[in-house]
Structures are given as structure tokens and as C-alpha cells.
A and B are shown apart, each in its own frame.
Chain A
């Protein structure tokens, strides 16, 4: 399953908005098959912050572990946010190579 984050907005910065996006995604998330990867596509996102990322990616990461696969992005805020989220969680995300 692929999630295009831009469908939740292009400026993804607050905890409230991240939590709302996570809740909105729940019905689709229930449809994911047991061994299926969940891929996150950052293309089209202008700004991505740790607050939003923590609320959205945090619980997905806890539930899916390595089945949560992030697609590479050259956006500086995406890269900086993923770095800090990995430090907070003391775990590395699976980021698909280009």
C-alpha cells in the first residue's frame, strides 16, 4: 500500500494536523494485508516537521516496524525530520534506495 503524504497537505507542521491525518488514514490502514509493506511517498510535500511526523509516522512505525517503508526524498525538511525522529525512537526507518 502506498500513501502519498501530499494528500494530507503540503505544509505538514503541527501535532494536531499530524494526529488528524493519522486518524483519517485509519480506515484505509485496516485494509492492509498481513505481510504487505506500507510505503510513504513524500513527493509534493513542501515542509515536513517532527511534530507532524511524530504523530503520523510514530504509531505506524510502532505497529509495522520494518514493513513501514519510506521512499527517498531530497526535501531538506523531510531529511532533517527523519533524522531527529530516528534519534528520538532510537531506531532506523527503512528507507527504500533510489
Chain B
């Protein structure tokens, strides 16, 4: 049976991006369309769209770094949208064999990272507000990213002496911030560290050029300076 191809208009609806974006992606090679023999119209295989949408890490990274468009299903414009989508993931995860208890801490750390983005950037988003929130239950992976101020600029409001991204990220993950001004916040990432260093949940977190890795076998908190620099925060949670 011949595979049924989707039109560019159908593909645009499935991915939640404009037809112009699909044309651009085709020209740049990001998502190449199919042309029937001798034809000029662009067509897409359903499977190609699924594969394209499933690479959450790449989609999130490209958006956070370069502002590239991504399927709208992954976009949470505000914390209410995030809460609804997180509750959906919670229901899905608690039904997975082996996650009957662990699901609650996975959801709690995802909630802390996602809500951090909203709480710290409210009214201050440099360009696009909101977060990327994607998950793949089969890959056991959750990806979050924002185009916000990042940890250094946010923490400098309470710690003006912070010198660089790695120092700021270290404070965020390891020190209890008792000063409550100018706003209530600051301890969510310590909770994330506490959970990921004691439970079988891996974390890769980036802000500026600082990178945090917590993974088996040692599950120790590892902070390094990476090659790439990007403004906001991004996290990959693997369980």
C-alpha cells in the first residue's frame, strides 16, 4: 500500500508552526519536504514529523539558543498552562511500572525547575515569555528550557558580588538563601539537587556557560564550565 503523504498545510497544523516556517525549514535542510515527481508542492511523511517532534533536546536547545520555532504542543506560555501539562504527565508517569512511588519526586523537581522560570522572569522576559516543556515516556526523558534572564542575572539581584555563571549556579544548587527579598524564591534548585543525588534520576542543567551533571554511578553534583553560552536555563531529566 502506498504511503499517504501529508500536505504542507496538514503538516503545519500537526506541528503547530506556520507554512512559511515549514518552507524555510525545507530550504535550510532542517525538515526536508518531499516533492512528487516533477511537482513543486511540498509533502511530508507522518513518520518524519513524528521523528522531528520527538527530538525534544534539539528542539529545546535550538529555541533557547537561537529562538528557532518549535511545535506549539511543547510551549507553555504561562504557569497555568505548565501546571495543566505537568498534571497530565503525572497521571501518565504514575501508571508506569516501577514509578508508582518515584513519580512524585520526578514531578516535584520538574515543577520546581519549570516554575523557577516563571517566578524569576515574570515581567522581565528579554524576548519570548514562557517555557519549552517536552517529555517522552518511552525515552524516560523530560526537557525544559526558557529564554529568560538565567541564574547569574537573577541571583545578582540578591548577591551582587557573584562573578560568573558557574559561581551563580553553584550558589543556586548548594546554598540556602535565607534572604527573602526582593521576592520569595531561591531554594528550588537545592531541592532538585537533593532529590537527584539520592534517587535514580539523572539531571543535566545549563545556564550561561555553566553546566551541572548529576548521574549514576556516583550521583555527585558536578559543575563545569561548558563551551557554549546561552542566556536562559535548560534542563534534561532522565529517569
Known A11-B86, A46-B94; contact A75-B115, beta-carbon cutoff 8 A: no
Distance in Å: Cβ of B85 to nearest Cβ of chain A: 11
Q: Tell me the total A-B contact number using a CB cutoff of 8 A.
A: 87
Taking CB atoms, residues of chain A closer than 8 Å to B139 are none
- Alpha-carbon distance between A98 and B1 when the two chains are bound, in angstroms: 64
* Residues B191 and A15 in contact, CB atoms below 8 Å apart: no
A11 near B119 with CB under 8 A, answer no
Q: Which residues of A contact B86 (CB under 8 A)?
A: 11, 13
Residues of A within 8 Å of B94, CB to CB, are 46
**Interface hub of B187, B188, B191 (most chain A Cβ within 10 A):** B191
Chain A at the B interface: SS class: helix
Is A80 engaged at the interface, CB distance under 8 Å to the other chain?
Answer: yes
Residues A46 and B191 in contact in the complex (CB < 8 Å), given A11-B83, A11-B90 = no
Please state if B104 and A15 are interface contacts (CB–CB under 8 Å). Answer: no
> Does B108 lie within 8 Å of A80, measured CB to CB?
yes
B180 to chain A, nearest CB (A): 10
> Do A80 and B194 form a contact, CB below 8 Å, given A48-B108, A87-B176?
yes
Inter-subunit contact A88/B194 (CB<8 Å): no
Q: How far is the CA of A13 from the CA of B119 in the complex (A)?
A: 12
Whether A77 pairs with B115 at a CB distance below 8 angstroms is no
With A11-B90, A80-B195 as known contacts, state yes or no: A54 contacts B107, CB within 8 Å. no
Within 59-96 of A, Cβ neighbours of B (below 8 Å) are at 74-78, 80-81, 83-84, 87-88
User: How far apart are the CA atoms of A74 and B102 in the complex, in Å?
Assistant: 11
CA distance A89 to B115 in the complex (A): 21
CA distance A50 to B101 in the complex (A): 18
Interface pair B107/A76, CB less than 8 Å apart: no
Alpha-carbon separation in the docked complex, A80 to B115 (Å) = 18
Q: Is the CB of A15 within 8 A of B176?
A: no
- Judged by a CB distance under 8 angstroms, whether B215 is at the interface is no
* Closest chain A CB from B219 CB (angstroms): 15
- Bound form: Cα–Cα A55–B187 in Å: 12
A18-62 interface bits toward B, Cβ cutoff 8 Å, 1 = contact, 0 = none: 000000000000000000000000000011111100110000000
Residues of B within 8 A of A77 (CB): 104-105, 107-108
Q: Which of B101, B111, B195 is the one whose CB lies under 8 Å from A14?
A: B111
Closest CB in chain A relative to B36 CB, distance in Å: 48
Interface string of B186-202 (1 = CB under 8 A from A): 01101100110001000
Chain B residues numbered 165-187 whose CB sits less than 8 Å from any CB in chain A: 176, 178, 184-185, 187
> Which residue of the partner chain, among A46, A51, A55, A76, contacts B112 with CB atoms under 8 Å?
A51
Instruction: Sort A-B residue pairs by CB-CB distance and give the 3 closest, nearest first.
Output: A13-B111, A77-B104, A77-B108
Given pairs A46-B104, A50-B187, A51-B115, 10 additional interface contacts (CB within 8 A) = A11-B111, A13-B83, A46-B94, A46-B103, A49-B112, A50-B191, A76-B104, A80-B194, A81-B191, A83-B194
**B residues adjacent to A (C-beta < 8 A):** 79, 83, 86-87, 90, 94, 101-105, 107-108, 111-112, 115, 118-119, 176, 178, 184-185, 187-188, 190-191, 194-195, 199
